[in-house]
Amino acid sequence: MEEGEEHPEVELPMVGNYAPDFTLKGMEGKDISLKGYRGKVVLLNFWATWCKPCEAEMPSMEQIYQDYKDEGFKIMAISVDKGNLDKVESFVKERGFTFPVFLDPSHKIEGAYRIKFMPTTLLIDRKGVIKKVILGGRDWEDILSRSLIENLLNTQ
């Protein structure tokens, strides 16, 4: 898997600013807001079922979710698939992912965050500030990824 990287020629979504709040319905039917995760470190991931790099990075996302979820770490995986809840649900269930998955069929949240590439991942600190934007797939279990997450978890 290729390492996700930052592209200086691309305008990244508001690094250093508060992440725009939103509320989406999860696959379980419950409304969740980003603001509701204040006090937690959030990995906000924009993905799609048709995106091969997205699919490739998700097993490592599941592993870090399992490793850090009890330490104040949350994942919000937002599918930008167009209105096909069944396809997204099947994709997630077949692969055994347990992190929260949400749908953005109107692309409203994707637009608010100025997402242009799949996958795009934002790391958000406990105060709700965007600390890092990663374009492209990533191995979330590697040393660099884990140290990014652990540094955010250890910062109040």
How far apart are alpha carbons 72 and 111 in whole angstroms?
Answer: 27
How far apart are alpha carbons 132 and 138 in whole angstroms?
Answer: 13
Q: Which of 6-15, 33-42, 58-67, 131-140 has the lowest mean pLDDT?
A: 6-15
DSSP 1: -
Domain 23-153 has CATH 3.40.30.10: yes
63-115 per-position pLDDT tens digit: 999 999 999 999 999 999 886 688 899 999 999 999 999 988 888 999 889 89
How far apart are alpha carbons 153 and 42 in whole angstroms?
Answer: 10
**pTM greater than 0.85 (yes/no):** yes
